[in-house]
Amino acid sequence: MLVNAKQILEEAKRLSYAVPQFNINNLEWTRYILEESQSLKSPVILGVSEGAAKYFGGFRTVYNVVSSLIDDLNITIPVVLHLDHGSSVEFCQKAIEEGFTSVMIDASQYDIDKNILITNQVIEYAKSKNVSVEAEVGHIGGTEDNVKGNVLHATVEDCEKIVEETNLDFLAPALGSVHGLYKGKPNLNFSRMLEIKEKTKVPLVLHGGTGIDDKNIIQAIKHGICKININTDLQIEWSKKVRKFLIKNKKIYDPRKIISSGEEAIKNKVREKIILFGSVNKI
């Protein structure tokens, strides 16, 4: 069942667990994630970056793949089709027009007033289509940015301001996590996370879930995180297995066999995260 993310994240906030966002890269990954989430009775958010949408062929193709798999596989858990890091109002609108049930507008490179202005433009359109909206404050960087000091941490004031002046559904404050593999150790600002949780009262999102150890994940959930994004972890697990398979099976050329040699690895990682985040049996 395709739904927007508002209700499932409000529920996660109420019961103190996090709903996983797994980024999808192709039809096969989508199927593995849906099947494993269904077997654990966990709501799931399928994250699609603009790059991934382009790789699939476009937003409509992604929507058709996801909605058809939900039907064909009899998936009954709540599934959110979410645009990850939408870079403009136009991209968000396009994703919504094609059937996405949730979007992130990432205007974090601008000052807070411009961020709010752009976020409101997305919200105005999204709300008319019953689509949920995520915004980002501060700036979540990439690999090495945590050691180079390039992660611009969100301030409590900016988070309060964007929540007061928009009707956003959930908020990603940059508090030390980065996308991709960490150089050095992630150093999450838990005291500020808690303050943002208490002052804004909206579900919070943790980007860059790969490489954050279990203890810190549990802490983050206690400090208001209700959605955790995982991408690189699945890529690493899948590619490790496929590489091994190809080295061992030099004569196999059937793409179904090659791609699905990583199925178990993805399903194991999805299962591990769902159990860690506490979203198992939550439907």
Q: Contact 131/100 with Cβ under 8 angstroms?
A: yes
Closest approach of Cβ 245 to ligand 13P, in Å? Answer: 23
- Closer to ligand 13P by Cβ: residue 144 or 165: 144
Exactly one of 84, 106, 145, 169 is catalytic; which is it? 84
Q: Which x/- pattern, by CB under 6 A, does the window 2-21 give for ligand 13P?
A: --------------------
- Closer to ligand 13P by Cβ: residue 21 or 121: 21
Q: Indicate which single residue of 43, 173, 208, 224 sits in contact with ligand 13P (rule: CB under 6 A).
A: 208
Q: Contact 46/33 with Cβ under 8 angstroms?
A: yes
As beta bridge partners, residue 137 has 173
Q: Which x/- pattern, by CB under 6 A, does the window 158-187 give for ligand 13P?
A: ---------------------xx-------
Q: Which residues of 55-89 are buried (b: 16+ CB within 10 A; e: fewer)?
A: ebeebeebbebbeebbeeeebebbbbbbbbbbeeb
Q: Contact 136/108 with Cβ under 8 angstroms?
A: yes
- Closer to ligand 13P by Cβ: residue 25 or 232: 232
Closest approach of Cβ 47 to ligand 13P, in Å? Answer: 6
Q: Indicate which single residue of 101, 166, 189, 210 sits in contact with ligand 13P (rule: CB under 6 A).
A: 210
Q: Does the footprint of ligand 13P cover residue 209 (CB under 6 A)?
A: yes
- Closer to ligand 13P by Cβ: residue 85 or 241: 85
Q: Does the footprint of ligand 13P cover residue 36 (CB under 6 A)?
A: no
- Closer to ligand 13P by Cβ: residue 183 or 257: 183
Q: Does the footprint of ligand 13P cover residue 115 (CB under 6 A)?
A: no
Q: Indicate which single residue of 134, 136, 233, 263 sits in contact with ligand 13P (rule: CB under 6 A).
A: 233
Q: Indicate which single residue of 6, 207, 223, 269 sits in contact with ligand 13P (rule: CB under 6 A).
A: 207
- Closer to ligand 13P by Cβ: residue 142 or 157: 142
111 an active-site residue? no
- Catalytic positions: 84
Q: Which residues are near ligand 13P by CB under 6 A?
A: 23, 47, 84-85, 179-180, 207-210, 229-233
